[in-house]
Amino acid sequence: MDIATLIGLIAGIILIAWAVVSGAGDKVGAFVDTPSIAMVIGGTAAVTLISFPLKAVLSVGKVTKNAFLHKAQSPQKLIEDFVSYAEVARRDGILSLESVTKDIKDEFVVKGIQMAIDGTDPELIEQILNSELDGIAERHSTGKSIFDCMGKYAPAFGMIGTLVGLVIMLQNMEDPSSIGSGMAVALLTTLYGAVVANLICLPLADKLARRSSEELLLKEIVIRGVMSIQSGDNPRVVEQKLKTYLPPSMRMVEEVEAA
């Protein structure tokens, strides 16, 4: 589980709740308005359905889960694994990797190594793996786009709700005592829209974008590793090739540990 996402969400909710309670005192109920909630949530959902296919919208729960339940794989560990695969292939021949694939859980890695074992043309291996990589990137992009869409339109529907509330309030100007409470209710939709967008949707979109970039980096390392093993590179060469995908900070840490 990504504890940072959960902590950030809970902290944001607590901060807003504290501000409301400390400012409103015993009038906390004034911050709850069902029509305003329906306007923001319902309107945002409606626009999302207009913007995306139904299948993509229905998968938003699974996409959201990726922001909270994510087991990060270490790129350093992946490189170490490919160096060990290269050592096996160098020592016993590439066909010996057949037994190694039984213990590999990543289907992408297995597919690449299996094609190399089968003697598939290197260009075809790279083409197939890159095509799958593009598909993964597209799926990730769709998930992020859904949250970006909700983050973009939630404040807009908050403003629409405010305008609706103001119109209703102005129709009842004969009762000056109701103006203050009417204005407060009208502004609640703007508040709800801002909270939904800036505490939930946009941060989750950013987290999903980061998850996507991390996974695509790992897949790129896999592709380069498979191609390097298939071409018969020395394990040290494989290691040096794959380390070029690591940011300088990670390479420096490895060098210090090695020393």
What tens digit of pLDDT does each residue of 52-100 get? Answer: 999 988 888 888 887 787 777 788 899 999 999 999 988 888 888 888 8
96, part of any domain: no
Q: Which residue has the tokens 């509330």?
A: 165
User: Does residue 180 register a pLDDT over 80?
Assistant: no
Are both 209 and 238 inside the same structural domain? yes
Q: How many domains does the chain have?
A: 2
Helices (H), 106-199: 107-117, 122-170, 179-195
Residues composing the chain: 259
Residues 239-246 have a mean pLDDT of 88
Q: What domain range is 199 assigned to?
A: 33-75+123-258
Q: What is the pLDDT of residue 41?
A: 94
Are both 127 and 23 inside the same structural domain? no
- Band of pLDDT at residue 250, cut at 50, 70 and 90: low
105, part of any domain: no
Structure tokens that stand for 50 in this block: 């207009």
Are both 3 and 63 inside the same structural domain? no
Q: What is the pLDDT of residue 227?
A: 93
Residue pair 208/147 in contact by the 8 Å Cβ criterion: yes
Are both 131 and 22 inside the same structural domain? no
Q: What is the pLDDT of residue 166?
A: 84
85, part of any domain: no
Question: Average pLDDT over the chain, rounded to whole?
Answer: 86
92, part of any domain: no
222, part of any domain: yes
89, part of any domain: no
pLDDT digits (tens, 9 = 90+) for 99-145: 888 888 889 999 999 999 988 898 999 999 999 999 989 988 998 99
DSSP state letters, 63-132:
HHHHHHS--PPPHHHHHHHHHHHHHHHHHH-GGGHHHHGGG---HHHHHHHHHHHTT--HHHHHHHHHHH
Are both 227 and 190 inside the same structural domain? yes
177, part of any domain: yes
52: DSSP letter: S
If DSSP states are collapsed to H, E and C, what string results for 32-46?
CCHHHHHHHHHHHHH
